[in-house]
Amino acid sequence: NAGVTQTPKFRILKIGQSMTLQCTQDMNHNYMYWYRQDPGMGLKLIYYSVGAGITDKGEVPNGYNVSRSTTEDFPLRLELAAPSQTSVYFCASSFDRGLGNEQFFGPGTRLTVL
């Protein structure tokens, strides 16, 4: 299993540009998450999904959109990039919620908005 994969690894955007961060998992996990990590900080939840066709906002959803058309894929869309969105973005997945559930993380996408 490749686990959780993310593309691209790095990207530089100009203010106002748009882009989609891709996330794919091959573990047949129902739950998927997008987090952002600012320098020296912990991760904050942007959006999450509990299954295909179901998404919901996390702590910091403004400026982002997501979709979940398949179990495997959970892309994150930035519509009008702003410098405040400069961050490292991590996608994660887990099989289900519950006591023993474990989240697995992708390698991250490092985004700079200039």
Partner 1 sequence: KQEVTQIPAALSVPEGENLVLNCSFTDSAIYNLQWFRQDPGKGLTSLLLIQSSQREQTSGRLNASLDKSSGRSTLYIAASQPGDSATYLCAAGGGATNKLIFGTGTLLAVQP
Interatomic CA distance for residues 40 and 86, integer angstroms: 13
Closer residue to partner 1 in complex, CB, 73/104: 104
Q: Which is nearer to partner 1, 13 or 31 (CB)?
A: 31
Residue closer to partner 1 (CB basis): 85 or 109: 109
Q: Which residues of the shown chain bind partner 1 in the complex (CB under 8 A)?
A: 31, 33, 35, 40-45, 48, 50, 56, 58, 90, 92, 94, 96-108, 110
Cα–Cα distance for residue pair 113/79, rounded to 1 Å: 12
Least distance in Å: CB of 25 to partner 1?
13
Q: Which amino acid is located at 54 in the chain?
A: I
Cβ at position 32, least distance to partner 1 in Å: 10
Residue 49 has φ and ψ, to the nearest 5°, of: -140, 135
Instruction: Give yes or no for a contact between 48 and 58, defined as CB atoms under 8 angstroms apart.
Output: yes
Backbone angles phi, psi at 9, to 5 degrees: -80, -40
Closest separation between CB of residue 16 and partner 1, Å? 27
Nearer to partner 1, 13 or 92 (CB): 92
